[in-house]
Structure 1
Amino acid sequence: MGHRSRAERDAMTVEIGYALVSAAFVAVATFAGVISPVYFFDLDGTARRALTVAAVVAAALVFVVRVVYVLWSYRGRPARQPIQPGRTRPDS
């Protein structure tokens, strides 16, 4: 494994931060979606406990999957450059 430039290390740091923040956001949304029936319906202790466990498990799973997906899709490759010099859009 060769030496990485400062720009490559900074890019990876930003990508890791993005992966963690976006995964946390998606995990909180998943948790809220699964746990919301507890607040809208009068559920007994067993159902409340089951939904809480399901919400925690789903949120943890979504968090891990999102982090892996973002970091796996990054892989440190540079952004695609336009084919023709002077063009800013790849399809132009």
Structure 2
Amino acid sequence: MERRTQAQRDAMTVEIGYALVSGAVLAALTFAGAAAPALFLFDPGRTARNVVIGVATAAAGLAFVLRVVHVLWRFPRREGHRLPAPAPVPGRPGRSGSTGPEDT
């Protein structure tokens, strides 16, 4: 497998940081958007308050995970970058382009 350069490793580290921070911001906004109207505009009972907070927490968690996956999934594919192809395995016909000892 091809070794990554320091610049590629640094770029991936920055991308992971960006994914986590933007995911956390999106999760906070999702929680606030889901919980604030129900909790501050209305006066729900204790059970309703717990349900609203539970739903808002689940929505925030889902938003965080989806954002992180989306950012990291598209990272190697933008700007024409591709994940490196696996290195060919010598001595395995059909995989390396050369014939192995079995074909002679």
Same fold per superposition (TM over 0.5): yes
Residue pairs, 1:2-81, within 5 angstroms: 2-36=2-36, 37-75=38-76, 77=77, 79=79
Q: How many residues align?
A: 79
Gaps of 5+ in 1: 81-92
Gaps of 5+ in 2: 81-104
1:17-41 Cα offsets, whole Å, 9 max, x none, are: 1100100000000000111111221
* Displacement after TM superposition at 1:8 (Å): 0.1
1:22-64 Cα offsets, whole Å, 9 max, x none, are: 0000000000011111122111011101000001100000000
Distance 1:41 1:2 in 2: 58
User: Residues 5 and 78 (structure 1 numbering): CA distance in 2 closer, same or farther, change over 3 Å?
Assistant: farther
Distance 2:16 2:51 in 1: 33
In percent, how many aligned pairs have the same letter?
52
Amino acid at match of 2:56: A
Amino acid at match of 1:30: T
Q: Give the TM-score, by structure 1 length.
A: 0.80
User: Residues 78 and 3 (structure 1 numbering): CA distance in 2 closer, same or farther, change over 3 Å?
Assistant: farther
* Displacement after TM superposition at 1:2 (Å): 1.8
Greater RCO structure (CA 8 Å; 6+ sep): 1
Once superposed, what is the RMSD of the aligned Cα atoms?
1.3
Instruction: Look at both structures and tell me which one has the larger radius of gyration over its CA atoms.
Output: 2
